[in-house]
Structure 1
Amino acid sequence: MNNTYPHPILAREGWPFIALALVISVLLSWFLPWFSFIGWVLFVFVVQFFRDPARPVPQQANAVISPADGRIVVVEETDDPYLNRRALKISVFMNVFNVHSNKSPLDAEIIDRWYNPGAFVNAALDKASTENERNALHLRTANGQDITCVQVAGLVARRILCYVEKGAKLHRGQRYGFIRFGSRVDLYLPLSAKPKVAVGDKVTGVATILAELAD
């Protein structure tokens, strides 16, 4: 486990929201005690949404690890709209009860980055990949394999946060972004990659291996 993990337990993106929920809960308890239950339920929900625990990182060299918690909604061969190629697409859908911190799926250099404004349809739907607000990273491994990693906003998600730029190098499991309140992450892998998950599987960010790249 990375002992220098920078944001243990609660994500920094959530601190203002947690503080606001706490203030609301305290005020309700003081002035409207019969409504205080609602405030504390809100507070607990906000705290759990912004949790960001450190986890052991699989060190298998060819492993592609899950960039987020959630449920697998797509495992298929399709077109990679960013690199104009056929690719193996694996999509992880995050509901509001999943950890929304996004981690690098492997060791790689960022070759390019694209941001596209868009709509906010249900992130579990296939059309979210092309219609919703999204931020894509073109990643390249040391042996020249290309992966596209795309943060996609959801129905209630209203902000994609990405903290890395073109030219940066990422380590597997390294935290690079966050999506607020429901979303998905799409991975486009070389067709030679072998999927290790199926549609419907629940996955844990960093800990779950989604696929293995060919040597």
Structure 2
Amino acid sequence: MTIHKEGYTSLALTALFIFIVNAFANYYFADISWLLWTIYILSFALFIIVLQFFRSPNRKLNTDDLHVLCPADGKVVVIEETIEAEYFKDKRIQVSIFMSPVNVHVNRNPVSGIVKFFKYHPGKYLVAWDPKSSTDNERTTTVVETNQGIPVLFRQIAGALARRIVWYVKEGQEVKQGDQFGFIKFGSRVDVFLPLGTDIKVNLGDVVKGGITVLADFKNK
């Protein structure tokens, strides 16, 4: 396992904060051993929490052009037919994955193909499971047309704790299934919009892993 590049600054700031707090505690409360040990333990716990959040485990990806892979680790919270109003403007199957702060927050391309559309939207920070978060929160929308000519839309949505969405794609770029397309800090959601009739392979409540779990199947498309 490695640490994701998006975590370097956060880890450095966390280490600096811990150093300052501990130096202050040792200077002013050197005689209060129980307080010092409490601060030491809390400091260690804080660093471990931030460290695990930015972990980027090495994985053997389950790539296949006929499959749609999960773009993120987390839990499946939505599977429904809905109107996708930004790009398709018609009915699609929406599958949403909620990432809690303890999940790996690397986002991976669910399919290979060409990026036909990309847009970043500034916005609010409603809790990620709020239905309005799909349209009101800070988010990005990416559409990739697969090698079979099937367009797949996926959307990063910031949550109540997330304050920064990072993306690595742009229109016209060729992307590979399973490669990283972005990162969202501290709790968030990813929506995937698929053509009607796509064979969905997950169920509500399933715990999934980005780049490994098969989200859907294009064999009948």
TM-score by length of 1: 0.92
Identity of aligned residues (%): 38
Please name the residue that 2:2 is paired with.
9
Residue of structure 2 in register with 1:193 after alignment: 198
- Structure 1 position 80, deviation (Å): 1.3
Q: Deviations over 1:131-177 (max 9, x none)?
A: 11110001101111011010000001111111110000111111111
Distance 1:165 1:130 in 2: 21
The reply to whether residue 181 of structure 1 matches residue 221 of structure 2 is: no
Work out the CA distance in 2 between the residues paired with 1:174 and 1:83. Answer: 24
Is 1:54 equivalent to 2:47 in the alignment? Answer: no
Distance 2:18 2:163 in 1: 24
Q: Does 1:25 align with 2:29?
A: no
> Match for 1:43 among 23, 42, 47?
47
Moved more, 22-31 or 62-71: 22-31
Task: Specify the SS of the correspondent of 1:45.
Answer: helix
The corresponding residue for 2:105 is 100
Q: Which amino acid aligns with 1:147?
A: V
What residue is the counterpart of 1:5 in the other structure?
A: none
Structure 2 counterpart of 1:135: 140
In 2, Cα distance between equivalents of 1:60 and 1:126: 31
Highest CA radius of gyration, 1 or 2? 2
Does residue 64 in structure 1 map to residue 68 in structure 2? yes
Deviation at 1:28, TM superposition (A): 4.0
| 1:84 lines up with 2:78 in the alignment | no
Partner AA of 2:52 in structure 1: Q
Aligned position for 1:207 = 212
1:55 match: secondary structure: coil
Gaps (5+ residues) in structure 2?
26-35
Matched-pair contact (CA < 8 Å) for 1:134–1:152: yes
- State the AA in 1 paired with 2:64: Q
Compute the TM-score of the two structures, normalised by the length of structure 2.
0.90
- How far off is 1:22 after superposition? 2.3
Contact kept in structure 2, 1:66 and 1:208, CA below 8 Å: yes
Runs of 4+ with deviation above 6 angstroms = none
Compute the RMSD of aligned alpha carbons.
Answer: 1.4
Q: How many residues align?
A: 208
